[in-house]
């Protein structure tokens, strides 16, 4: 209950404070490329229930249309979130590249937190196609609400293998607390400012 109250209060505060920035991002996306401002995608939430996740759109419409479905993961130990080709992903728009580098594309997820789909702190919500490939132990990460940020995000983000991410997530599920959430939130600010591990 305390965690939920914290989520509601901080998400309301975050939405209010970020409103001017969201307006500027809205205009920038519209000027940069045609298409909707928000990107919507189904993700697996608490207890595996699907929900609609919101982000600011960072790809062109063609890029989103041809984005490949997740491949079958044969080895979670070595799977790393990385672009299909080295360098900048050509599907990402100019504004989208900036939003991803600064994590500003995640701001609409404060609305997901307010709705109760997500928490500020927790394992990142995953695509159902990926969740369907999980070994049994990985499903324990769905015992808590997914988060905007978490332990994996302050310890490498996209530079981690999938197995490393899972170890961090499962550790959080086992030992999460209000004080630990505050520590993760504080460290997230430094990670966002440096752009470490962002893609």
Question: Any idea where the domains of the chain sit in the sequence?
Answer: 2-194
Q: Is the pLDDT of residue 2 over 60?
A: yes
Average pLDDT for residues 86-110, to the nearest whole number?
A: 87
pLDDT tens for residues 134-156?
Answer: 999 999 999 999 999 999 999 98
DSSP string, 127-181: -HHHHTT--GGGGGGGGS--EEE-TGGGTTGGGSBHHHHHHHHHHHHHH--HHHH
- Measured distance CA(109)–CA(55) in Å, rounded: 7
Q: Name residues whose C-beta falls within 8 Å of residue 198's C-beta, 6 or more positions apart in sequence.
A: 100, 101, 102, 103, 157, 158
- Measured distance CA(199)–CA(197) in Å, rounded: 7
Which comes out higher in pLDDT, residue 64 or 189? 189
3-state SS, residue 197: coil
- CA-based torsion, 93, 187, 51, 23: positive or negative: negative
Long-range contacts of 179-187 (CB under 8 A, 24+ apart): 181/3, 181/6, 181/120, 181/121, 184/121, 184/149, 184/150, 184/151, 184/154, 185/120, 185/121, 185/149, 187/154
Task: Name the pairing type of β-strands 50-56 and 38-44.
Answer: antiparallel
- pTM score, two decimals? 0.84
Three-state SS for 35-97 is: CCCEEEEEEECHHHCEEEEEEECCECHHHHHHCCCCCCCCCCCCCECCCCCCCCCCCECHHHH
Band (191; pLDDT cuts 50, 70, 90): confident
Q: What is the mean pLDDT of the chain?
A: 86
Average pLDDT for residues 70-90, to the nearest whole number?
A: 53
Q: Is the pLDDT of residue 112 over 70?
A: yes
Q: What torsion, rounded to 10 degrees, do the Cα atoms 144, 146, 149, 150 define?
A: 40
pLDDT of 68: 47
């Amino acid at each position: 209950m305390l965690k939920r109250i914290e989520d509601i209060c901080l998400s309301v505060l975050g939405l209010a404070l970020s409103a001017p920035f969201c307006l500027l991002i809205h205009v920038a996306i519209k000027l940069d490329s045609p298409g909707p401002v928000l990107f919507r995608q189904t993700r697996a939430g608490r207890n595996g229930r699907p929900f609609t996740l919101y982000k600011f759109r960072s790809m062109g419409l063609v890029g989103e249309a041809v984005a490949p479905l997740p491949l079958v993961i044969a080895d979670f130990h070595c799977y790393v979130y990385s672009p299909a080709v080295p360098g900048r992903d050509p599907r990402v728009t100019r504004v989208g590249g900036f939003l991803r580098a600064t994590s500003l594309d995640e701001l609409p997820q404060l609305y997901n937190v307010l709705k109760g789909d997500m928490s500020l702190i927790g394992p990142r919500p995953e695509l159902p196609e990926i969740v369907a490939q999980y070994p049994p132990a990985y499903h324990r990460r769905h015992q808590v609400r997914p988060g905007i940020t978490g332990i994996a995000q302050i310890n490498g983000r996209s530079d981690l293998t999938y197995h490393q991410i899972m170890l961090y997530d499962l550790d959080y599920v086992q030992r999460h607390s209000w004080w630990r959430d505050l520590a993760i939130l504080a460290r997230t600010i430094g990670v966002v400012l440096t752009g470490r591990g962002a893609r």
